[in-house]
Amino acid sequence: MTTTLETQEAKRSHSDTRPLLLEVQDLKVEFNIRGGVVKAVDGLTFDVKRGQTMGIIGESGCGKSVTARAILRMIPKPGKITGGRILYYRRPRHPKPGEEDKVEVIDVTKLDPDGEVIRQIRGGEIAMIFQEPMSSLTPVYTAGTHINEAVTLHRLLPIKKLGEQMAEHIMAYRHVTKEEARAIAVEMLRRVGIPKPEQRVDSYPHQLSGGQRQRVMIAIALSTEPAMLIADEPTTALDVSIEAQILDLMRDLQRTTNMAIMFITHNLGVIASMADEIVVMYMGKQVERAKVVDLFYNPKHPYTKALLQSVPRLGPKTGQRLASIEGMVPDPLNLPTGCVFHPRCPAFMAGKCDKIVPRWTQVGENHWVRCLLYEE
Amino acid sequence: MAVAAAPAVPAKRKELSQSYWSLVWYRFKKNKLGVLGGIVLIVLYISFALIPEFLAPYALENRSQFVEAPPTAIQLFDEQGRFQAPFVYGLERRVDVAKRLRTWVPDTDRKYPVRLFVQGDEYQLLGLIPMNIHLFGIDADPREARIFLLGADALGRDYLTRILYGGRLSLLIGLIGQFLTIVLGMTLGVISGYYGGPVDMFVQRFTEFLAAFPNIPLFMALSAAIPNYWSPIAVYFMLTIILAFLGWGGLARQVRGLVLSLREREYALAAKSFGASDLRIMFRHLLPGTTSHVIVIATLSIPGMILAETALSWLGLGLRPPLTSWGTLLQDAATIRAIRFTPWLLWVVPPILITIFAYNMLGDGLRDAMDPYSGRG
Amino acid sequence: MVNYIIRRIGYALILLVLVSFVSFAIIELPPGDYLTQKIEQLRARGDRSAEQQVERLRKRYGLDKPFLERYVNWATNFLRGDFGESFEYERPVSEILGARLGYTVILAIATTVFTWALAIPLGVYSAVKQYSLGDQIISVISFIGLGMPGFLLALIVLYFAVILFNMEVVGLFSPEYERAPWSLGKVLDLLNHLWLPALISAITGIGGLVRIMRGNLLDTLGQPFVEAARARGLKNRTVIWKHAVRIAINPLITILGSDVFPSIVVGSSLVAIVLNLPTIGPVFVDSLRKLDMYLAGTCIVFLTFMLLVGNLVADLLLAWVDPRIRLD
Ligand SMILES: Nc1ncnc2c1ncn2[C@@H]1O[C@H](COP(=O)(O)OP(=O)(O)OP(=O)(O)O)[C@@H](O)[C@H]1O
Ligand SMILES: [Mg+2]
């Protein structure tokens, strides 16, 4: 398994040389509901490097959240991963001496969703924050309790031993004590910009504002020093000025921790200021993937172009939501033939787009698109 | 513009409500348990409330010498093991020396064929048609032999007959009591929701007080207070009224809430702007909006009422002889002595339970059909 | 919070006075009183001295005084622990009820414990394994339990005990312990007799609570904070019990105080009548039948008192477990 991956990695001509963290290959997720099968995610392929920010954008219902949940194996009930792989390049969080650079490749789709391994990954190595800050904290526990829970579960402290030449050797690890967990909680709250963290650590969710709660969520996520943060529309429920603060905070924290971020949003303005690379999704399918600059200045797919045209001005402060594009979003149970976007596409080619399923085509350096216009 | 829209409003509502009820009916039909509950209730009410005189082999108070006779077994084979038309044996007094008890044993020398549609005690079907035909019975002089499918009580009366007749009072007290509850609860609820103000205050405080009271002890005390020289009919209606007290507060509160939300809807406002009177708005426009809720609440609270009657009468605080209800029958059945020596008197329990479960099933089915998103828990 | 508790206790006391007054008035309602009944009885027996005897009793019980005076007398004596005298038994009410009060409380608490201890795990299982065979079985059982009145169930149990095992499951003690002083053996004997009535009385409440718990937990399991807890890497069991159940259970505490406990108190009184337990249930019903008003009034006040205490305890419990209420 490992060998095929290494070759694939080698084949790529990326200018980005940071090491791989996550590789999603041809992911398929289906919901078997009463009226039929919803292909919520259908053939998604992308990768995330350490320290990189990957943006995912698309209309409501296109499968963004399902993708995020698939990575943590948290797809709700009738849903199932029916194809593809999610490879996680795992580095030991608490390496024994000499094993600091060992990389283990885990196919997340093969894991037991309630098992030990995925639980270590969840929260500890890949943390996630959600759209609803108002209700993502359990109402009967304080902010500190939430952070403690994550910290005691995932964080071990090194037991250092002073070696011969003043060099410290990490011999073993131990669990965090109660006092240390509390200190970490206070420190995390301070870092996410909550005033008077020594008091706030004992606040219950109903005593915090929406912006503060989302900061607490970020503090919980970062308290375990994860390698990657999945942020599923973290600012959608907040108003514009708080949104800007939270985004600034996330950018700052990323710079200091070298954490990768998978940033999911409706909001083109937000993503332009956050992401290095962007995946555009439509009805469960990836229609375009490019560097943020390429995507904004040289969009290829008619859907991406339509999206961009519906945003008058870029910048995080516009607060511009994804305006609706002409035509109806198709019924997910009854997708159009050929290219799923063809009924709404301004560049529709009769007899072609409604018959042939477009392939995933490379159109530039690290720029891919799924559209018949770009197939020879 | 407004004038043109006026006729459209009621027409559209009618259409809407028609399709709503047909949708409810469609969803209800798919709920097997609910439909089963409904069918069982129809059968129960027909046989116990409408025509018990015809189904029972004897008249309610027809006593006999067969004191505490056990249930009669219907025989299909004679002593030689030959198949015969259904018949029963006569009964013979026997003294059980070991238990020091007198019992009845079959007398195999006397056989009486079981017949359908036999002539017997006179009665008036539905209180109108004089008849003497009973669904089944035996071909014998009632002084000499009788059929007791569920045994006989301490006065030698057929217990099946008593259960059938007793069901009438018990089943109807639920319906009548619930009817009173609905009238009281809906009227006060609508008025209190529509007018607000002092009426609302009064209804609110009063229902709160009722809710805080330990209700069953209260009803026990109330029904104990019914003077014992009143006529049985008066006692029956008094008890019904007391039971109606149980539920109206809760119902009024629910209706009030619904009316509060309906009051501001377009059709109420539209009706108001056309100068409809308050009464008309309340009872033509607002009340129908609460129907589905009220039906569900009512269906689910009838069993509580039937049980309350049963329990009160069983405790000697409700109906009293000569009125016969399931509750008064329980009085004789629910003693250690009865369980030991005349256990068949407990046959009154299954009809009570069946009624309660049928109502609960029907109510659940109706609730799911009318409001599929509530109370699925 | 302290304010709130004081307010609640004040409210409960007012209600208690109101209830005692109303019940006193209700028992007073029917024309004639206990003694009128008594006269009739004595006359029927051909007792000549009936009138004088009754007149003497009437004086003794203060029945010749106006209603209000009698109520005030009774109520003020009540506070001193003197609940009046029973006509029927011609003994102080406190003497008649005596130990029965304790057993009533014990039975109600045991029933509540059973209700809670069975309903919560069943409801949780049902919700977590939604649509599984176990869930369906539990749903059917709780549906039956919900419709099954305790006193009829007690009757059915009694029937099977007598017919199948020739056992009379009545009373709270075996004959040898009935009059014995308290000892470990007696306590065990009590527990041995207590569990069945408690379980029977619990059945209706269990049926209702399981359904509510299942519904609440299903709602709660769909809440973002549950998903967030799972995304933190917690064990499934921790997510369910520490985060979901902890929240889903709060409304049940309210219901326990306002609906379930009252129906347990009343239901177990009826069960006690069937199973002939020495609680106040049988005495209460008997006193109502006989219009033995001080006895009946005391029983009602005591039952109401139990309900109010239950309600208060539930409120305090809720405030204790839910910071949203505690810190308001
Ligand atoms: N629990 C579920 N049961 C059935 N279908 C589901 C479920 N969750 C998601 N889906 C389906 O999966 C598809 C993608 O949903 P997803 O939540 O990923 O959308 P999204 O892109 O995150 O939208 P939004 O921007 O509104 O959050 C939708 O068509 C939806 O119908
Ligand atoms: Mg989403």
Residues 6+ apart with CB under 8 A from A201: A142, A143, A144, A147, A182, A185, A186, A189
- Residue B5 binned pLDDT confidence (cut-offs 50, 70, 90): very low
Of the candidates A13, A84, A62, A18, the one whose C-alpha atom is nearest the C-alpha of residue A227 is A18
Q: H helices of C256-292, where?
A: 261-274, 280-290
Residue A263 pLDDT: 93
CA distance C196 to A47: 64
pLDDT digits (tens, 9 = 90+) for C26-55: 777 665 666 666 666 666 666 666 667 667
CB burial of residue C313 (10 Å; 0-12, 13-18, 19+): middle
| Interface ipTM | 0.84
Is residue B93 helix, strand or coil? strand
Neighbours of A98 (CB within 10 A): 7
Q: Which residues contact ligand 1 via a Cβ below 6 A?
A: A 31, 33, 38, 40, 58, 60-66, 76, 78-79, 266, 332
One-letter amino acid of A277: E
* Residue C232 to residue A123, Cβ atoms within 8 A: yes
Within 10 A of A85 (CB to CB), how many other CB atoms are there? 19
The residue-averaged pLDDT of A39-51 equals 91
Domains annotated for chain C, with CATH where assigned, are: 93-325 (1.10.3720.10)
Q: pLDDT higher for B271 or C116?
A: C116
Domains in chain A and their CATH numbers?
2-286 (3.40.50.300)
| Token output for C312 | 């208060």
Residue C235: per-residue pLDDT: 92
**Angle between helices A143-154 and A178-191 in degrees, nearest 10:** 120
For atom 18 of ligand 1, which residue has the closest CA?
A63
A121, A153, A204 ranked by CB distance to C234: nearest: A153
Residue B376 has pLDDT above 70, yes or no: no
Nearest residue to A311 (alpha-carbon basis) of A295, A323, A299:
A323
| Pairwise CA distance, residues A267 & A240, whole Å | 12
Q: What pLDDT score does A281 carry?
A: 92
| pLDDT of C184 strictly over 60 | yes
Distance between CA B176 and CA B237 in Å, rounded? Answer: 9
Probe site for chain B from C152, C204, C301 (most B CB atoms < 10 A) = C152
Which tokens hold the place of A360?
């995933």
Please report, rounded to a whole number, the percentage of residues in chain C having pLDDT higher than 70: 89
pLDDT tens profile C126-158: 999 888 898 999 988 888 888 888 888 888 888
In terms of DSSP H, where are the helices of A192-279? 197-200, 210-223, 240-257, 268-274
Give per-residue pLDDT as tens, C72-99.
887 888 888 777 777 777 788 888 888 8
Q: Are A278 and A48 in contact (CB under 8 A)?
A: no
Which amino acid, residue A33? I
pLDDT one-digit tens code per residue, C200-234: 888 888 988 998 999 899 989 989 999 999 999 99
Output the average pLDDT for chain C: 83
Q: Give just the sign of the alpha carbon dihedral C248, C253, C258, C262.
A: positive
Q: What is the pLDDT of residue B18?
A: 61
DSSP C182: P
**Of the segments A89-98, A291-300, B313-322, C253-262, which one has the largest average pLDDT value?**
A291-300
Residues 6+ apart with CB under 8 A from B111: B75, B78, B87, B88, B89, B90
Q: What are the beta bridge partners of residue A46?
A: A24
pLDDT in tens, B207-249: 777 776 666 777 777 877 777 777 878 888 888 888 787 677 7
Q: Given an 8 Å threshold on Cβ–Cβ distance, is A122 in contact with C233? A: yes
pLDDT digits (tens, 9 = 90+) for A48-67: 999 899 999 988 888 999 99
Chain C residues within 8 A of B213 when measuring between CB atoms = 19, 22, 304
Region A191-204: mean pLDDT is 91
- A313-326 pLDDT, tens digit per residue, is 444 444 444 445 66
Most informative mutation of A28, A64, A72, A340 for ligand 1 (most atoms within 8 A of CB): A64
pLDDT at A148: 93
Which ligand 1 atom minimizes the distance to the CA of A69? 18
- Kindly indicate the confidence band of residue A3, based on its pLDDT and cuts at 50, 70 and 90: very low
- pLDDT above 70 for B268: no
Token pair recorded at residue C321: 């477990």
Total residues found in chain B within this entry: 377
Residue B84 clears pLDDT 90, i.e. is over it: no
Distance CA A314, CA A256 (A): 26
Q: What is the pLDDT of residues B157-172, one digit of tens each?
A: 888 888 988 888 888 8
Atom of ligand 1 nearest to the CA of A131: 27
Query: Measured between alpha carbons, how far is residue A333 from residues A26, A32, A78, A327, C315 in Å?
Result: 20, 10, 14, 17, 49
| Residue A11, number of CB atoms within 10 A of its CB | 7
Whole-number pLDDT of residue C46? 66
Cβ partners under 8 Å of residue C280, min gap 6: C97, C100, C101, C104, C269, C299, C302, C303
Q: Of B15 and C116, which is predicted with more confidence?
A: C116
Q: How far is CA A160 from the centre of its chain?
A: 34
Give the whole-angstrom CA distance, residue A128 versus residue A215: 13
